[in-house]
Amino acid sequence: MNIPDQVALVTGANRGIGRQFVLELLERGATKVYATARRPETLDFEDSRVVPLRLDLLDHDSVVAAAAAVPDLTLLVNNAGISTGAPLVTGDLAEVRREMDTHFWGTLDVIRETSPVLAANGGGAIVNVLSALSWFAAPGSGSYSAAKAAEWNMTNGVRLELAAQGTFVQGVLLGAADTDLTDGYDGPKIDPRDVPRLSLDGLTTGAIEVVVDDWTAMVKASLAGDPAEFYAQIAQLLG
């Protein structure tokens, strides 16, 4: 996919990586970008190509309404997410469920409602913003890691299912980006602008999976090895 003349929808576009996706799409010549947020009044883009929309991943009616409002859609970027920090065993189960409802069920809901629109417009593409934590867990990340792991393999599943209609599905994986979501994290962080840049570069070359940073590449490379050795390494790196 070449970005000029595409019509995109970006979830969670009011800040962080989502906002950078909107800006990068505009820079690359997208015809229109539907920028979504739970509170669209928080969107402050000045470019006339940006169309604000309300979309709440936990509100099915808002997902249906957003899909109906984008008949020209050719590129969907699923970026919206949360991080509750809820432990799996001792945490508030409602918060654990909210992680899964957001990252897995909410993202899948958006895909299910918009995929017929993409099909009608020639297939298009879907980008799911995932995480290195799709592949491992760290202290304080149990709920988030489980939800992102589910979203990662859901990405693989919908890629297979949507291939027949010509829809390309890409997963984007990264460690920590310097956004509001990682305010409490003291480790290394990448520039959030790198995420859309590398993702959209990958769309032009047909990359179904984009690994953004060295940390995520290290995690991926470890998957074929002994997990005991990997977690010992992680414990050392995280102190």
SS3 of 99-124: the string is: HHHHHHHHHHHHHHHHHHHHHHCCCC
Q: Are 11 and 19 in contact (CB under 8 A)?
A: no
In whole angstroms, give the CA distance from residue 167 to residue 63: 19
Global confidence as pTM: 0.94
Cα–Cα distance list, 1 to 17, 127, 195, 207 (Å) = 20, 12, 17, 10
Q: What is the pLDDT of residue 75?
A: 98
Q: What is the pLDDT of residue 104?
A: 98
Q: What is the pLDDT of residue 237?
A: 79
Q: What is the pLDDT of residue 187?
A: 66
Confirm whether 144 is a catalytic residue.
yes
Cα–Cα distance list, 159 to 57, 125, 155 (Å) = 20, 10, 6
Q: What is the pLDDT of residue 239?
A: 67
User: Residues near 151 by Cβ (< 8 Å), separated by ≥ 6?
Assistant: 103, 104, 107, 128, 130, 134
Of 34, 144, 185, 231, the catalytic one is 144
Coil, strand, or helix at residue 94? helix
Q: What is the pLDDT of residue 178?
A: 77
Q: What is the pLDDT of residue 180?
A: 67
DSSP string, 133-160: GGS---TT-HHHHHHHHHHHHHHHHHHH
In the chain the domains, ranked by start, together with CATH numbers, are 7-238 (3.40.50.720)
Q: Which residues of the chain have pLDDT under 50?
A: none
